[in-house]
Structure 1
């Protein structure tokens, strides 16, 4: 529905063909009755009056042709109103012309329905004067023409209201947490249902009853989904505790509903019927439906989160495994190079190889776990930063400042969660030709981790293969944070022409 409304051309086609289909179906039904009119008497609204006055009744003359003319009038009026007049007024295009067209449409409906009524109610001419009949028919059809225009207007109001609600549903939900998307769709369905009842001309008592009960049900569903049920489940209570809250709400709501019903229906039976029906419907149907839907949603969300977490781990592990070809050979090669570096007194080279080996061991072993100690994660960060310092320490224009807290005991963290931010800082923040700086801060307070990375930014050279590649590290880490620490983290990134800054806060577990 939302996609259709966002593309008016497609929705207009559906409206046109739906209206055409109803028009065609109505004609087919009339033609079917014409074929059967020679076999038996076809019932029509005023046929009994012709029979009462002993008049000959022709189905074609007194019903078929007048009704075909009316259906054609309804069809044309809908097309003109819905596709010309209302869009023009809504878009403030040719306003004066569209107002004139609306007035002409009203007059046409009035005159056309008046003329066809003189045939539908042709029996009147046999016992009343022509002047009396014309006066009666055309006075009556002024009200009918107003009703037709009112129904066309109501349709347009529902259409544009649905368009507004659906296209702004996310904004509405962000401003009013209690309003759900299901509630918005329910309001639209309720409006369409009321419109259908008005078209069918059902009893006003039924319309008012639905007009009152359904909005209360929608509001109670939103209140249950965002207040009553979460509060009940958080306290470890069950359905009857929640149902008692609904009962109190229904009692409070029933009082103004009762006064409204008495004002519309009168102070007698309708008041009791409306209050009783509303209370019973909310306590039996709405409360149960809200509870079942909420519980199923919780189960579905838990299953989705589990699958997403598993998928996130699988994707991360697969990415790492792709780079871990024959790890035993790599370790042996690193050990050989490390021994050679020591023999040649190449301390820096030996230190770099040793740190690289520690990092690879971490990636192969501890990275496969769901959580590791924060101390081991910090060791990996230290090794990576030290390797980068070996590469950059020859330049005095590169400043790397690290303030990483030591001796953090007990806290656990998902592995490889912090390194993408540091990798990103060295990738974009270090230049061997320009002054560069990186500042890394990591601290904890109780069970909360505070992590900041502040680095310079340098434009890539034209021939740099990484120039147009922003990387997927930060995107992946955002997704992992959302999966592993939902509502338990805050990630803030800022960037200007020369610097990039990230601030990450995570509530960890022991």
Structure 2
């Protein structure tokens, strides 16, 4: 998982929520001008839209927004990585004090009606500031837990494997992160504790039932005639069974008997409308993906077996021994050019059977293959004085590596379409490296194939294949320029071999 992309998503999500909160704050102002809040009317205190509503809420939303940005992006990540612990710890403390002070001051205006409930004004301010700093402490704590969960989520995502337990842990952390985001939003909205308690109980039940359904309940259905009906029946039963302890816990913590019914209304609706369909969908999608992967692996094994069979049909030892025998015979008969051609052909075949199967090889070995190919073509075309083949290929003494067979298709294409035994032809190949960057150029004349030539319709297959390989193997690390005129074809490749 890319941490930079995640940070961008978090920033824009937080900014969007902050912007929406400000818009809602402004839109609510029309009623605040004409309707005096009930609490102010009961306390017989004057109410001002600007000083008792808009400005306090604006400051409260702003400090929550900037506190989240500062802690999430600047202070907590280096603190968790044990970088500048003293400095970042001091910033966290300052953020706690500043947010607590701002929230407390805004409450003295937005909740001024509380002041008349106390006989002593000092006691009233002490209570308001105590609640404000307590709110700030919970805010900082929840952001700390959120960042820790995010760090754990990134770790599990980057180090996940096929182990079902690790996958389950990752999904549980996803669920907990979703719960924490909801708690932060509820806190920012200033809702009562009962709302956060109801949210917590319902989401925890959703996480449990979703995970249990994906990994235990749905797989246990096996090959039943109507598995979806059986699943929804069992999940409904589980939902009502879990409703009893959830309702009791909520009622005991809140101290309200009616909370048992309230929390279960949300619980039952969430499980049957959200958790059950979500679990069924995730399991089916994952099962289809696993089936596709299994099929692809099976086909790949078949392809590997076929390739191995084809390789076994050509005995490399016999082939090389035969070439060596022909090479020795050519030398005995003083056919030096023939012997040279056989030797280079043997080197090329050895490369194709051995090194070509590797992901990367040394650049010097790939250049050797390139030189052997050009040398063989020169032997073939040496009978014509109108064919000019020039090469400026820098000898490589570096440890640079390259994917095999990336350069040769351009040279093959040049000889295929650039050489004519009846017309003047030219090919120029240059290759050099600077640091870890390779510069490769091929320039050749163009001669149209005859209508009956089978290669006429296959002119672009090799180059198209190279384009695809470059995109896959060297994304954003290469530049390929191909130009063609009526008489010439030009290829320029810049490749970063880092």
TM-score by length of 1: 0.51
* Aligned partner (choices 392, 396, 399) of residue 321 of structure 2: 392
* Aligned partner (choices 277, 283, 287) of residue 294 of structure 1: 283
- The residue number in structure 2 matching 1:169 is 157
- The residue number in structure 2 matching 1:21 is 19
Q: Is the 8 A contact 1:23 1:75 kept in 2?
A: no
1:47 and 2:35 correspond: no
Q: Is the 8 A contact 1:114 1:141 kept in 2?
A: yes
Q: Measure the CA separation in 2 of the matches of 1:112 and 1:204.
A: 21
- The residue number in structure 2 matching 1:194 is 183
Worse-matched range after superposition: 147-156 or 57-66: 57-66
Are the structure 2 counterparts of residues 77 and 231 from structure 1 closer, same or farther at C-alpha, using a change threshold of 3 Å? closer
- The residue number in structure 1 matching 2:369 is 465
**Residue 464 of structure 1, CA deviation:** 1.8
Q: Measure the CA separation in 2 of the matches of 1:94 and 1:389.
A: 67
| 1:148-159 matches, cutoff 5 A | 148-159=136-147
Q: Is the 8 A contact 2:146 2:181 kept in 1?
A: yes
Are the structure 2 counterparts of residues 174 and 13 from structure 1 closer, same or farther at C-alpha, using a change threshold of 3 Å? same
| 1:334-483 matches, cutoff 5 A | 380=310, 383-385=313-315, 388-392=317-321, 426-428=353-355, 464-465=368-369, 471=404
Q: Measure the CA separation in 1 of the matches of 2:289 and 2:95.
A: 52
- What runs of 5+ residues in structure 1 fail to find an aligned partner? 314-369, 397-421, 430-452, 473-510
Q: Is the 8 A contact 1:178 1:222 kept in 2?
A: no
Q: Is the 8 A contact 1:117 1:137 kept in 2?
A: no
**Residue 465 of structure 1, CA deviation:** 1.5
Q: Is the 8 A contact 1:110 1:138 kept in 2?
A: no
Are the structure 2 counterparts of residues 81 and 133 from structure 1 closer, same or farther at C-alpha, using a change threshold of 3 Å? farther
Deviation per CA, 1:136-171: give whole Å up to 9, x if none: 123222122221231233134224413431442253
- The residue number in structure 2 matching 1:217 is 206
- What runs of 5+ residues in structure 2 fail to find an aligned partner? 326-348, 371-395, 406-498
**Residue 133 of structure 1, CA deviation:** 1.5
**Residue 267 of structure 1, CA deviation:** 9.6
Q: Is the 8 A contact 2:61 2:188 kept in 1?
A: no
**Residue 272 of structure 1, CA deviation:** 6.6
Q: Measure the CA separation in 2 of the matches of 1:235 and 1:124.
A: 63
Are the structure 2 counterparts of residues 29 and 93 from structure 1 closer, same or farther at C-alpha, using a change threshold of 3 Å? farther
Are the structure 2 counterparts of residues 6 and 391 from structure 1 closer, same or farther at C-alpha, using a change threshold of 3 Å? same
1:142 and 2:130 correspond: yes
Number of matched pairs: 350
Are the structure 2 counterparts of residues 144 and 173 from structure 1 closer, same or farther at C-alpha, using a change threshold of 3 Å? farther
Deviation per CA, 1:358-386: give whole Å up to 9, x if none: xxxxxxxxxxxx99xx9x9998555312x
Q: Is the 8 A contact 2:60 2:102 kept in 1?
A: yes
Q: Measure the CA separation in 2 of the matches of 1:58 and 1:458.
A: 78
Q: Measure the CA separation in 1 of the matches of 2:116 and 2:320.
A: 110
Are the structure 2 counterparts of residues 234 and 391 from structure 1 closer, same or farther at C-alpha, using a change threshold of 3 Å? farther
Tell me the C-alpha RMSD between the 2 structures. 5.4
Are the structure 2 counterparts of residues 286 and 45 from structure 1 closer, same or farther at C-alpha, using a change threshold of 3 Å? same
1:95 and 2:94 correspond: no
Q: Measure the CA separation in 2 of the matches of 1:44 and 1:291.
A: 47
Are the structure 2 counterparts of residues 8 and 294 from structure 1 closer, same or farther at C-alpha, using a change threshold of 3 Å? closer
1:229 and 2:156 correspond: no
Are the structure 2 counterparts of residues 19 and 45 from structure 1 closer, same or farther at C-alpha, using a change threshold of 3 Å? farther
SS at match of 2:369: coil
Deviation per CA, 1:181-225: give whole Å up to 9, x if none: 666544432332233234334454443343233333333333333
Are the structure 2 counterparts of residues 289 and 48 from structure 1 closer, same or farther at C-alpha, using a change threshold of 3 Å? same
